[in-house]
Homo-oligomer: A and B are copies of this chain.
Amino acid sequence: MAELNERSQNILEAIVKDYIASAEPVGSRAITRRHQFNLSPASVRNVMADLEEMGLLCSPHTSAGRIPTEKGFQYYIDSLLQIRDLSDKEKKQLRSSYRFSGMKMEDIMQEVGRILSGLSKYAGLVMVPKFASTAFRQIEFVRLSHGRLLVIYVSETGLVQNKVISADTDIDQRQLEKISNYLNRELNGLTILQVREKLKKEMQDEMSLYDQLRKKAWSLSLAALQDEIEDQLYVTGTSLMLEQPEFSSPDQMRRLIQTFESKKILIDLLDRSQSAQGVQIFIGSDVDLKGCSLISANFSNRKGAIGALGVVGPMRMDYSQVVPIVDFTAQLVSRVLDREAE
């Protein structure tokens, strides 16, 4: 992006801020009234024309003011946005909103989403930690019906997953107990990824495995862990989004709801944000989120359970407000996860 001189930057910033506050096109007159540049509307208009030329602004029609384009928002976020830190008071307040004692993982995640959306007035997202990257604590098998087993595994962080697998032969519960005991000894403390590695190796040696029980144990755990459990996503506060003027038309509402319903788009974005560090901002058609932005951050604990959380709002959302909330919440959640795994 070409450099902007200071005046242009100031004016762009003013336009973006006014637009964030009002959701209406901003005119040259309004700028000079609301901000103390010592400039006449005409001069502002010249600058605005330049900014439009550069693709940072556009006007919905000739006789309306300007609104920032996606590119304009991008520039604002990259170069002009100043993220204020939360004051200690705000931090304290936020901390006290989150009371997770005695909650299981799923409930915590849901609660975090609720609070995020409550604070931001937009939609809150929480993607639960992926099992793959977290440390393994325990595995149990339950016989359901002939040849069908329910396998339950628990992570260090208290995340519980379960899955139905079929075994070629029927195995009784006593044998299953032995198998799970054996596996729990062998696999304790490894991450699922490491477990998979180990499984691969063991299965190669399978031929040499004289012990029938072990053989069965390995093949069962392979079946249990082989394909990834799909990501789970909690979406909260959809209806808050619908209050925003940009989603006031039926068509836009429908599109928004559809996007949220399929969850796929959101999961993809949060997945992307997982690999990055700190707060990430995705804008509009950056991906199929027309008119929206996503502010996200990942969280993790020492043992590596990672998930992501964030807020989806209109592109015009109050970044300086929401970014620190998301950031701090991610840190809080990380700390809670650590406590859980202690």
Contacts and interface: CB of A to CB of B under 8 A. Distances in A.
Contacts of A261: 237-239
A154 B143 CA distance: 10
Given A150-B104, A158-B164, A242-B254, A138 B142 contact: yes
A140 interface: yes
Given A160-B152, A250-B248, A254-B239, A145 B341 contact: yes
Interface in A82-131: 102-104
Interface string A127-170: 00000000001101010111010101010001010111110000
A255 to B, nearest CB: 9
A208 interface: no
Nearest to A106: B162
Contacts of A339: 145
Contacts of A144: 158, 340-341
Counted per complex, copies of this chain come to: 2
Chain A: interface residue count, which band? Answer: 35 or more
Contacts of A212: none
Nearest to A252: B250
Contacts of A140: 138, 140, 152
A49 interface: no
Contacts of A142: 137-138, 154, 158
A62 interface: no
Interface in A203-255: 237-239, 242-243, 248-250, 253-254
A341 B148 CA distance: 10
Contacts of A104: 150, 162-164
Given A239-B261, A242-B257, A150 B158 contact: yes
Contacts of A154: 142, 150, 152
Contacts of A158: 142, 144, 150, 164
Contacts of A166: 102
Contacts of A237: 261
A98 to B, nearest CB: 16
25 contacts: A102-B164, A102-B165, A104-B162, A138-B140, A138-B142, A142-B158, A144-B158, A144-B341, A145-B339, A146-B342, A148-B340, A150-B160, A152-B152, A160-B160, A237-B261, A238-B257, A239-B257, A242-B253, A242-B254, A242-B257, A243-B254, A249-B250, A250-B250, A250-B253, A253-B253
- Closest 4 interchain pairs by CB? A145-B342, A160-B162, A239-B258, A104-B164
